[in-house]
A and B are shown apart, each in its own frame.
Chain A
Amino acid sequence: MQKVRLVLQPDFITNRPTLLQNDFMRTVFFILSFAFVVSAAFIKKSVPTYSMAKWVVERNSSLNIQGETNINSFQCDVTEYLKPDTLVYTKNDATKKLSFTNSCLSIDIKRFDCHNKYITEDFRSALKADKSPKLRIVFVTIEQFSNSSDNQLVKGTVDIQLADVTKRAEIAYRVKTMPGNQIQMNGSHVFSFSDFNLKAPRKLAGLIKTKDEIKVNFQLLFKAIP
């Protein structure tokens, strides 16, 4: 067996085999080098890349709330979205996850029309429209978003702000991309008045009452700006 001696003197002085001239060590060196190159390539591949973009909320976006009383059911609509809010997000290209920053839809509660003047007034009053006139939907994330979707179901997280209370909700959106960089997102979620420390309207000592659960449906239209 050949001994390997490490010396600081150059080869031409000692004329002894250097570290790399040893077959075993040379093999180890090449294996390590190869492993480094492969792992470096792999690491480079897994580093996420991000892209930033914006969505502008289109005017014809709509939102409605469905509820029930012990008399009948009602639906309150906001059929025209007048504020041109912009949603700004960064997209993780690897996971297709959108992370929004300071992106919210702001809806004037007094624009809700329940198609019945008594219920409309009472509903606005129940949502404390005078004290806190806005319903805000703050977009947090959307998972697995693709720029070319045809009724694809994606999950997202939003914060609903109502009557000075914020409630986080997981929402399943039906996403459809359309010509002209338009994106349609439909979704719904069931909330309770009590989620926002609100009381469902009750009249006549509770003999006439609204159920605590309300279903919020939204049909949102965005224009994507790269």
Chain B
Amino acid sequence: MSSISNSIAPSTKNVRMSKVLFAWFLAGIVMLLLGLGMVFVCIHFFPRIADEYFSPVFRRAAGETDWTFYVHPFILSFGLKWFWERYKGILKGGFLLRAIEVALVYGLVALLPILWLTFSAIDVSVKMTLTWFIYGILQAFAAGVVFAKLNP
């Protein structure tokens, strides 16, 4: 009997691990698409804010570093996935409520202090910093929805 349970346990663990990896990857993709959409919205509806990206404080796009921008949602997804697996037990309610809670925790604990520091150290406007705050909150919310649906 114990040999049967031993043989089942690793395969269950593998299935669970693959579900976690799938959720991480899917959340990364969703956040990437959301990010591109947010930049599109900024360019078309808030061009004066988008103009600020021409400021010298922003890195000039070059072939060797462009990939780092497109990888950032997967880095964020990795961190949020760890947080989800560790604390999902204390997040109660429906999937939307849990996703909102993840977004608020991320916004308050990570985004707010780091953007405060960014604003104090780098010549970026309040409006630009606010767009990043909203963008981060929405990204975390999207990741929360994916996690709550796939790994409740």
A interface residues with partner B (beta carbon < 8 Å): 69-72, 116, 118-119, 121-122, 125, 199, 201-209
Q: How far is the CB of B131 from chain A (nearest CB, A)?
A: 12
Selecting from B46-54, B85-93, B143-151, the interface stretch reads B46-54
Q: How far is the CB of A199 from chain B (nearest CB, A)?
A: 8
* Contact between chains at B54 and A118 (CB < 8 Å): yes
Contacts of B51 in A (CB 8 A): 71-72, 116, 118-119
* Contact between chains at A122 and B70 (CB < 8 Å): no
Contacts of B50 in A (CB 8 A): 71, 208
Contacts of B6 in A (CB 8 A): none
**Which range contains the number of B residues in contact with the other chain?**
20 to 34
SS class of chain B's interface: helix, strand, loop or mixed? helix
Q: Check if B39 is an interface residue, CB within 8 A of chain A.
A: yes
Report Cα–Cα, A72/B54, bound state, in Å.
12
* Contact between chains at A203 and B60 (CB < 8 Å): yes
Which of A72, A121, A125, A204 makes the CB contact (< 8 A) with B53? A204
Contacts of B56 in A (CB 8 A): 118, 121-122, 125
B59's nearest neighbour on chain A, judged by CB, is: A203
Interface centre among A72, A199, A205 (most CB of B within 10 A): A205
Contacts of A125 in B (CB 8 A): 56, 60
Which residues 93-123 in B have Cβ within 8 Å of A in the complex? Answer: none
Report Cα–Cα, A186/B5, bound state, in Å.
88
